[in-house]
Amino acid sequence: MSAVTASSPQRLYPVRRRVPLTRVTKVELRKMFNTRSGFWLMASIVISAVLATGGVILWAPDDQLTYSTFATAIRFPVVIILPLIAILAVTSEWSQRAGLTTFTLIPHRSRIITAKAISSVLIAFAATVLAFAVGALGNLLSAGVTGTTPVWNVTLTQCLYYLLGMLLSLLTGFMLGVLLRSSTGAIVAYFVLTFVLPIVFGLLGDNQLWFHDLQPWIDIQFAQGGLFVFERALTAEQWAHIAVTGVTWLLLPMAIGLGFATRAEVK
């Protein structure tokens, strides 16, 4: 055997390299669109934005036809749809038995969940851009119909608030998907958390003095509502409300869910 051969022996097996996270994210992003239900769920964002814009043009008073009015109207359906997208993106691995294939190809579940989180955030960014774009078109169209000057009363800071609100809404759905890993259970829990609990907290705040000052520190929907109010900036206390409720309702449950999701059996 020559010295060269002895010093650099030929490899008998190919070197296995980890699949890049960017490729995994592209796959997870494509999985959100390549089914009929996923496609129409994404399309519903566009459809609902257009319908909300049309509703403002048809029924809002002329003095209310401003950019902030259109952005607020579009926000209502979009913040309901975005968490559903995040829920289905996570729970599909367990509820549709896709995890047997996914976790075999990529055995590190944390990388799959990270890719799902990144792709969901990208969808939230795209939905926010779409909301402002459709709102801008509606503002211009309403000004042309009524013969008035379009009012652009949304600042860059308020746009960033809006984006943060969208992201927090999406993370609510993502947290429930990771925690429950069941499409039906996570969707039901989302509607309870979004619509039922705020009503209960609101009734307690209106009728119980001891809960009135405590509500902003407990009710996540109440705390995050200021992100979508264009008329005023958030105070330091309001940011504290968002931080406390976010840790309580989002970060802690998500940490618990991640612990179970990385160890739960996939059947």
- 105: which 2 tokens? 């190809």
pLDDT of residue 1: 47
- Beta bridge partners of residue 66, listed in sequence order: 151
Report the 3 state secondary structure along the chain: CCHHHHHCCCCCCCCCCCCCHHHHHHHHHHHCCCCHHHHHHHHHHHHHHHHHHHHHHHHCCHHHCEHHHHHHHHHHHHHHHHHHHHHHHHHHHHHCCCHHHHHHHCCCHHHHHHHHHHHHHHHHHHHHHHHHHHHHHHHHHHHHHHCCCCECCCCHHHHHHHHHHHHHHHHHHHHHHHHHCCHHHHHHHHHHHHHHHHHHHHHHHHHCHHHHCCHHHHCHHHHHHHHHCCCCCCCHHHHHHHHHHHHHHHHHHHHHHHHHHCCCCCC
Residues with Cβ within 8 Å of 140's Cβ and at least 6 positions away in sequence, in order, are 150
* pLDDT at residue number 210: 87
Please name which of 101, 226, 246 lies closest in space to residue 175, comparing C-alpha atoms: 246
Backbone φ and ψ for 21, nearest 5 degrees, come out as -65, -30
d(CA 70, CA 66): 7
* Closest residue by Cα to residue 141 from 64, 52, 65: 65
pLDDT on residue 20: 86
**The predicted structure's pLDDT at residue 131:** 92
Q: How many CA atoms lie within 13 A of 74 on its CB side?
A: 31
**What are the pLDDT tens digits along the chain (267 aa)?**
444 454 545 555 555 677 888 998 998 888 888 777 778 888 999 999 999 999 999 998 888 899 999 999 999 999 999 999 999 888 888 776 666 677 777 878 888 899 999 999 999 999 999 999 999 999 999 998 888 889 998 999 999 999 999 999 999 999 999 999 888 999 999 999 999 999 999 999 999 888 998 999 999 999 998 898 887 788 999 999 999 999 999 999 999 999 988 877 766
Rounded-to-integer distance, Cα 223 and Cα 244, Å? 9
**Which pLDDT score, from 0 to 100, does residue 232 have?**
79
C-alpha 91/C-alpha 180 separation (Å) is 8
Chain mean position to CA 116 = 11
